[in-house]
Chains A and B, each alone.
Chain A
Amino acid sequence: MVSGFVLKRVLQAVFVLLVVTLFVSYAVRLTGDPAIMLAQGAGSVTEQDLENIRKGLGLDRPFLVQYGDFVRGALHGDFGRSFMGGTPVARLIGDALPATLSLAGLSLLLSVLVSVPLGIQAAIKQGKGADQFIRIVSLVGLSFPNFWLAIMLVLLLSITFPLLPPSGWDGPASLVMPALTMAIILSATNVRLVRTAMLETLSAQYIMVARAKGLAERVVLYKHALRNCAIPLITYIGLQFGNLIGGIVVVEKVFNWPGLGTLAFDAISGRDYPVLQATVTVLSLVIVLVNLLVDMAYGLVDPRIRSK
């Protein structure tokens, strides 16, 4: 039973990866010529020169041959070499993936730590001052463009009060501002989500029963209510992870964070096909995996799913 489930998911993942990479590889080739990007600055470049460069990059071959090469390589963990300079793509990805995952993971964690208690508070104090305050603050948070927030944090925490490095990777201190930027924006949505889910659950009859039994309010909230509204929250946070990876590009840019977002952005603007294809593959893989984890988490929080 379990192996059937896993097999199905793996086949789905392979299908998703093939479709996504095929589409991206094809589409990016419609939008520009890497040879011209490389030749920029070289005075008068003839068509012959461009032809030579294309040949050197293997771009003179039919698209499906190039794509086939990419898939064959990827199966062996070899993503070829970057058009820009020839660094092995696997090395670029290997450096960037942990940076992005740690940033995304920490942001998500921070946001859950902040938004769950706040969302619950807002729900139990529904309509009262605390609820209003939390909702207004989250609305403000929601309205911040992430790049603006990032720049403001740099101004405050690196320049006015020189506490943190403004960019790059200099150890854990470098993680604080990018993660904070992402977490603030994520929390703004998550607080509202937790609040709504909690309100719904708190009006259920079993909560009334739990209270009538004389259980401590803490137990009612965190054991009975939170667990019951966990499924929609986990689903949403799983989906959010995909958006998070998308939104991370801007934050990585501002903080010069050596992650996949920056890598993908540079690859798109430089028409660096191998890097772009590999980045998209790895990102898709991450998203597929996260969704798989989300599905498995359902079983953890809900015994009814587990027993099926």
Chain B
Amino acid sequence: MMKLKALLASGTIALACLATPASHAAGALTVALHQDPGNWDPVATFLVSWGAVGSQIFDGLIVRTPEMKLAPGLATKWEFLDKNSKIRFTLRQGVKFHNGEPFDAEAVKFTFDRLLGEEGKKGPQQSNYTSIEKVVVVNPTTVDFIMKSPDPVLLTKLAGYGAMIVPPRYIKEKGSQYFGMNPVGTGPFKFVEYKPKISLGLEKNAGYWGGAPKVDSLTYRFIAEPATQAAELQAGRVDVANQIPLSMIETIRKDPKLAVVSMDGPVALALRYNTKRGIMQNRDVRKALTMAVDRDAIIKSILLGQAKPIASFQGTLSFGNDPALKPLPFNPAQAQALLKKAGVKPGTPIQLDFRGPDSNFREVAQAVAGYLQAVGITVTLKPYETNVLLNDIIPNGKTGEMWQNQWGGWTFDYDNTAYAMYYTKQRWNPFDDDAKLNALLHQQRNTWDQAARKQTLQQIARYVADQALEMPLYSLNTVYGVNKRAHNLALPADGRFRFVDATVD
């Protein structure tokens, strides 16, 4: 026993010797990111984790501010010409890529030729920009976008992902694969070092056209496990954690050195109904199920308030969200009456399919099952491995009566959701075929008139609610854990960081 004690004591001393410095150098900012997108080429991925880095290295013609407003980026102004079939962009002058290459109209043309050509075809970005026919150079500081069809979300889409402007000479010389591992852009931070699956190191671009960043260096560390992100935050080794577990929010909030930043986010959840199956064919039954579930209570007790109730499949920031449209109220008595009227026998079984690894949603699903049990519906919970659910069960129409759907686009436009969810034969619409809905969806997509579009989108949301195609659950907050030594982070709801004004003590 004495030996054991001695061993423990010497072990503790050894540990103390290994102790690491608690924080890092001033002027250096560290961010924990849940995933390594594996490639920094704007046309290569569509991952949120790319977006969290992309706007530090690259600029679009347009930028979107943390308040989600569009502002001039590499273009100083733009105007619609020839009955909106042409958009003319005036480019910012004197901008250089990190490698010294000048930014000009040729770079814009090269970027879009690449995105819309063979290189873009291999990646997921191209499909989002197919409304553009081509880009024409008018003079070194002016380009025209020739449009194939109207695209009301185009300006937003020019502020991110595939539309980020890339350096022609560099890519031609080094090739796309090299570029993907050693990115060069015009953005506020320059690439320094990429260690796949471990970290990405950036340093400030002193010559940034929008003013040099205040911190000298910026490091992203890829940490998949939310609990581990939280531990790193608590240990003072990261300044921003982009995913922290709900259960850790209170602990972090109570830590005097740390803060929790929570805001409305892009991700919404719904239980979609299989309208082809059994009792679900009846609209009144679908309404009854929606009314039987107390979604406010679920938000409060399971999601600890980090979500908002929704009436349609979108969050409050989404273009097309209608504050006047209210969620169906929680009313089990009325739900029961509706079920009785529809001839649904007590104990009727239904199945709820969900993403098994999503532990928060597992609890939500259990709560939903409990509420439905109370109105006489017996729910079987069916967890699937996420990819199986997304790749097979949903698109092939093999779901139970209800299935979990989680959706959110960085564009914050209901078009993105509604079209994919409700247009006939879309991947996420295995069951419904509604000519009226198709017409509305088509109509809003083919106009530049934003006011008219907003109205149509609201009409779509009302129609979907009226048909009770889904049980809208909630939109999730975007939650960050932050070390208070970092300031002016301007944390965005869409997770697309841009730390131009950030400082660290």
Contact = CB atoms under 8 A, between A and B. Distances in A.
A166 B47 CA distance: 26
B388 interface: yes
Contacts of A155: 231
A32 B387 contact: yes
Contacts of A169: 198
B124 A173 contact: no
B257 to A, nearest CB: 12
B420 interface: yes
B427 A159 contact: no
A49 B124 contact: yes
Contacts of B181: 87
B228 A254 contact: yes
Interface stretch (B12-20, B309-317, B336-344, B469-477): B12-20
Interface residues of A, number: 59
A280 interface: no
B122 interface: yes
B235 interface: yes
Interface residues of B, number: 60
B233 to A, nearest CB: 9
A42 B124 contact: yes
Contact of B228 (A164, A167, A263): A167
A36 B20 contact: no
B416 interface: yes
A250 to B, nearest CB: 10
Interface string B49-65: 00000000000000000
Contact of B198 (A32, A168, A173): A168
A163 B38 contact: no
A84 B37 contact: yes
A49 B18 contact: no
A39 interface: yes
Contacts of A56: 121-123
Contact of B225 (A32, A158, A170, A254): A254
B177 interface: yes
B305 interface: no
B124 A45 contact: yes
B122 A258 contact: no
A78 interface: no
B386 interface: yes
Contacts of A92: 196-197
Interface string A253-269: 11110100011001001
A43 B47 contact: no
B478 interface: no
B19 A163 contact: yes
Nearest to B392: A32
B97 interface: no
B348 to A, nearest CB: 32
Interface in A6-57: 31-33, 36-46, 49, 52-53, 55-57
A157 interface: yes
Interface stretch (B78-86, B125-133, B273-281): B125-133
Nearest to A177: B15
Interface of A: 31-33, 36-46, 49, 52-53, 55-57, 81-82, 84-87, 91-92, 95-96, 151, 154-155, 157-159, 162-173, 176, 253-256, 258, 262-263, 266, 269, 271
Given A44-B423, A158-B234, A164-B20, 10 more contacts: A31-B391, A46-B127, A53-B123, A86-B38, A91-B196, A164-B15, A166-B237, A253-B228, A255-B228, A256-B228
